[in-house]
Amino acid sequence: MSLWNPWHGCHKTSPGCANCYVYRRDDSIGKDASVVAKTGDYDLPLRKNRYGEYRLSPDDGVVFTCMTSDFFLEDADEWRKACWEMIRFRSDLSFHIITKRIERFEQCMPPDWGDGWDHVTICCTCENQEMADRRLPVFLSLPIKHREIISEPMLESINIEKYLATGLIEHVTCGGESGDNARPCDFRWITELRRECVRAGVPFYFKQTGAKFIKDGKLYHIDRALQMAQAKKSGYSYTPGEGSADAIVYRLPERKHLFERLSASTFRNRFHLSEKDKEYISDKGMDVIRKHAEDFVSKRLAPENPENDGKQTPMRGHPVFIAQHASACCCRSCLEKWHNIPSGKVLTDAEQKYVTDVLMEWIMREYQK
């Protein structure tokens, strides 16, 4: 990747800015990051080396633009036109622009923008639900060809399913906050956002844990040098169809503890076999019921991204359907929350057998009541 910072300095505009890394870094050298000024790299896309070659080459990858400011900052209005001209001219490069000021995009875009330029990606930030609901509707209404979302620092659980469902978002990135005053990032927020991306078939990148990372209720203090490495090690980044989730290490719950948890759940404990269900089981026999369970698991749960995930299991009509809801085997989200089996992966034969065994154990317990 390459960096192009045509100007430096910014003004804090939302909760995600509170511990801005640019402010932290500038403060460490006695510099005021709120002062916005053009940099010596303002015309970097046009610069050439002594061999007459452009210093920014397509071989260097994506050009991340204005990373120490905001491309749509009001202070830079007089400088932006020339930057758009450089971007237009260097159509051989891929420019990536991240902004917290998406509401200014329309008034700042170049006159010949049309429905967007093929070599420009606009990335909208949303650190919490409020910013997601404020910025993303605007983001989706704009004439942009390539859209991405980033939640970094991720400050709370964020639901963006309805925005992903538009099919207009190409990629989602999230990560925790770095620095001495970092706010905690909970792994549950990461997994929930990832599940939303899996269901929508959108690539997901877990960039970094942040300095304070909560997992299974425990707070970990992660050294800056390890934050990206730990995120990568988790295996929770996701690219549809690549089998990336197969690398995630997890442990299935102990069966006795699982059923204790299920019995303590008000929602799960409301499901029971009716007399009609028991008659059906008596008529068909447990071997047939198991084959039905295996078939349902194979077709409705095992795929990497099951069709209508979250809605694929009826609430009634078959003893196995009841068992699926009662044992939290009804969809891939529940399978991850209750059984630790990651979403975004094709279930192995062993995983399918485990789910079927859980269903049959619940059915047998109910049948014998």
pLDDT above 70: percentage of residues in the chain: 100
Asked if the model's pLDDT at residue 244 lies above 90, the reply is no
Summarize pLDDT for 1-51 with one digit per residue, the tens.
899 999 999 999 999 999 999 999 999 999 999 999 999 999 999 999 999
Statement to judge: residues 9 and 48 lie in one domain: yes
Q: Which of 247, 270, 303 is the last residue of a domain?
A: 247
Rg (CA), the chain: 25
Structure tokens at 342: 């990651």
**If DSSP codes are grouped into helix, strand and coil, which group holds residue 350?**
helix
Residues 6+ apart with CB under 8 A from 225: none
Residue 315 pLDDT = 86
Summarize pLDDT for 59-106 with one digit per residue, the tens.
999 999 999 999 999 999 999 999 999 999 999 999 999 999 999 999
- Closest among 163, 105, 109, 165 to 131, alpha carbons compared: 163
Statement to judge: residues 115 and 228 lie in one domain: yes
Statement to judge: residues 197 and 289 lie in one domain: no
Statement to judge: residues 265 and 227 lie in one domain: no
How far is Cα 102 from Cα 139, in angstroms, rounded to an integer?
Answer: 6
Asked if the model's pLDDT at residue 310 lies above 90, the reply is no
Residue 242 pLDDT = 92
Residue 308 pLDDT = 87
Q: What is the mean pLDDT of residues 54-58?
A: 96
Percentages (nearest 5) of helix, strand, coil residues in the chain: 45, 15, 45
Statement to judge: residues 64 and 138 lie in one domain: yes
Statement to judge: residues 30 and 67 lie in one domain: yes
Residue 316 pLDDT = 86
Q: How confident is the model at residue 312 (pLDDT cuts 50, 70, 90)?
A: confident
Asked if the model's pLDDT at residue 311 lies above 90, the reply is no
Statement to judge: residues 291 and 315 lie in one domain: yes
Q: Which of 177, 212, 247 is the last residue of a domain?
A: 247
Asked if the model's pLDDT at residue 209 lies above 90, the reply is yes
How far is Cα 342 from Cα 289, in angstroms, rounded to an integer?
Answer: 26
Q: Which of 222, 247, 272 is the last residue of a domain?
A: 247
Statement to judge: residues 170 and 240 lie in one domain: yes
Asked if the model's pLDDT at residue 369 lies above 90, the reply is no
Structure tokens at 129: 């639900």
Statement to judge: residues 166 and 270 lie in one domain: no
Statement to judge: residues 236 and 280 lie in one domain: no
Q: How confident is the model at residue 214 (pLDDT cuts 50, 70, 90)?
A: very high
Statement to judge: residues 129 and 217 lie in one domain: yes
Number of neighbouring beta carbons within 10 Å of residue 307: 9
Statement to judge: residues 238 and 276 lie in one domain: no
Q: Are 178 and 202 in contact (CB under 8 A)?
A: no
Q: How many domains does the chain have?
A: 2
Q: What is the mean pLDDT of residues 289-312?
A: 93
Q: What's the domain range around 90?
A: 2-247
